[in-house]
Amino acid sequence: MTIVDELTLEAKRLAAAEQLLGHAFADRHRLLSALTHRSFLNEHASAVAHNEVLELLGDSVLSLVVTEALVRASPGAGEGELTVRRAAHVSTANLARAAAASGLVALLRTGRSLARGVPENVAADVVEAVLGACYEDGGLPAARALVERLLGPPPAEAEPVRAHAKKDLQERLQALVGRAPTYVVAHKDGPRHAPTYTADVVLGDHVLGRGEGPNKRVATETAAAAALAALADVDDAALVAWLGAATTPKERR
């Protein structure tokens, strides 16, 4: 089957997706690829690739668009607060909700292995994939419009910093990889009577989160909260694979 034949065969699906996304694709090949899960290609001959590369692109575009929106909406907010707010907005759970609410999940081409239902992570992935396709087709303006359409504006406020964020983060990491994170704190700026501190929470060579506050305690607690938010949707096996080979924390100068 040629790509032209396949696009013709899937014309109804593509038209429904364009209406849902609010974007008419100059190249519908991109859109069809975004709507194609790997499991579909295991069972059907297709002239298009699965959506994993577009998902990777869309993940980066999503981070840029949401960060840009947060910075513009809250010019006085600190990095730690913005990180927490972004993590909540682009979480797997939030993306999956958007995919389900919009009807995007129903347009995904899958194989029999997903016949009983599309898992949350796959639903979230299709949002990123269509965003990657939209960016390739229409650039950043089209991507911004799609993020606004599917996700709405990012949260106006960060969730309150968890009182025991550092303790909770340490317990999770100790249980999974047998090591505790460390915190690298620096005095950022501000007058002597109202200083601002920044903190990175680090495990080996990995910076897990960043926060700031009027003192070291708040800065480190905010960094831990940012790390917990960023890792909330990372399952234990993936986290072990990522952090398991981390080296002893390097002394930072």
Per-residue pLDDT of 151-188, as tens digits, reads 998 887 766 556 688 999 999 999 989 999 999 998 76
| Count of Cβ atoms closer than 10 Å to residue 249 Cβ | 16
Among 121, 151, 181, residue at a domain's last position: 151
Question: For the chain, what is the mean pLDDT?
Answer: 86
SS3 at position 77? coil
Q: Is the pLDDT of residue 250 over 50?
A: no
- Within a domain: 22: yes
**What's the average model confidence in pLDDT over 72-88?**
82
**What's the average model confidence in pLDDT over 226-239?**
83
Q: Which domain holds residue 79?
A: 3-151
Q: Give Cα separations from 99 to 102, 122, 139, 147, 162 (angstroms).
A: 5, 10, 21, 12, 29
Same domain, 172 and 111: no
Among 122, 151, 180, residue at a domain's last position: 151
- Least confident residue range of 111-125, 182-196, 209-223: 182-196
Residue type, 4: V
Whose CA is closest to 49, among 107, 18, 12, 6?
6
- Within a domain: 251: no
Same domain, 77 and 178: no
Which comes out higher in pLDDT, residue 46 or 13?
13
The alpha-carbon radius of gyration of the chain (Å, integer) is 21
Catalytic annotation, residues: 59, 128
Task: Please answer whether residues 43 and 2 qualify as being in contact, where contact means their C-beta atoms are separated by less than 8 angstroms.
Answer: no
Q: Is the pLDDT of residue 44 over 50?
A: yes
Task: Please answer whether residues 19 and 29 qualify as being in contact, where contact means their C-beta atoms are separated by less than 8 angstroms.
Answer: no
Among 120, 151, 182, residue at a domain's last position: 151
Q: Which pLDDT score is estimated for 21?
A: 96
Which comes out higher in pLDDT, residue 196 or 223?
223
- Within a domain: 253: no
Q: Where are the alpha helices (DSSP H) in the chain?
A: 3-9, 11-21, 28-34, 38-41, 52-73, 79-89, 92-102, 120-151, 165-177, 216-231, 236-243
**What's the average model confidence in pLDDT over 2-29?**
94
Same domain, 29 and 142: yes
Residues 6 or more apart whose CB falls under 8 angstroms from that of 151 comprise 66, 89, 94, 95, 98
d(CA 30, CA 56): 14
Quick one: tokens of 155? 């949260």
Whose CA is closest to 132, among 112, 117, 122, 147?
147
